[in-house]
């Protein structure tokens, strides 16, 4: 169990701020908070005004541009990979079959899987990486 430590002899406590200085600091913090809130509100209003302007220009609802701004950006942040080796392998096999003039069986990927599973499993990690 840890016990509270006694202050070192060389440490001295800072004297408390006088009440007038505390009040002045609170006023400065409150005015800064208000200034930040006002600037943020003006910024958001500008964004909404620009969205409406673009909506009129392109004959769309302004909400469309807000959605692009707020939700479209997540695609730039969290980009999905182009695909995976499994899908790429079987897509190539389906393409090869079509080029040879053969129809892909009606069961689709299931039949391709049963036909080419051994070939897919034999691929090395490097070969799988190259497929993507």
Instruction: Give tens-digit pLDDT for 1-53.
Output: 677 887 777 767 889 999 999 999 999 999 999 999 999 999 999 999 999 99
Which of left, alpha, beta for 124 (phi over 0: left; psi -120 to 50: alpha)?
beta
Banded pLDDT at 130 (limits 50, 70, 90):
confident
Both ends of the chain: CA-CA distance in Å? 56
Confidence of residue 73 (pLDDT cuts 50, 70, 90): low
Taking CA atoms, 17 is separated from 7, 23, 32, 92, in Å, by 21, 10, 20, 74
Mean pLDDT, residues 82-90: 84
81: pLDDT confidence band, cut at 50, 70 and 90?
low
Stated pTM of the model: 0.46
* Residue 54 and residue 65 in contact, taking contact as beta carbons nearer than 8 Å: yes
């Amino acid at each position: 169990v840890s016990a509270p430590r006694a202050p070192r002899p060389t440490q001295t406590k800072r004297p408390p701020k006088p009440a007038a200085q505390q009040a002045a600091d609170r006023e400065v913090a409150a005015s800064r908070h208000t200034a930040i809130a006002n600037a943020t509100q003006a910024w958001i209003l500008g964004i909404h005004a620009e969205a409406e302007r673009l909506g009129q220009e392109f004959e769309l609802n302004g909400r469309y541009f807000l959605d692009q701004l707020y939700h479209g950006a997540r695609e730039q942040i969290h980009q999905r990979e182009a695909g995976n080796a499994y899908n790429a392998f079987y897509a190539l096999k389906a393409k090869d079959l079509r080029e040879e003039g053969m129809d892909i069986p009606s069961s689709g990927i299931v039949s391709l899987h049963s036909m080419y599973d051994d070939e897919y499993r034999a691929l090395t990690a490097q070969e799988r990486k190259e497929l993507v």
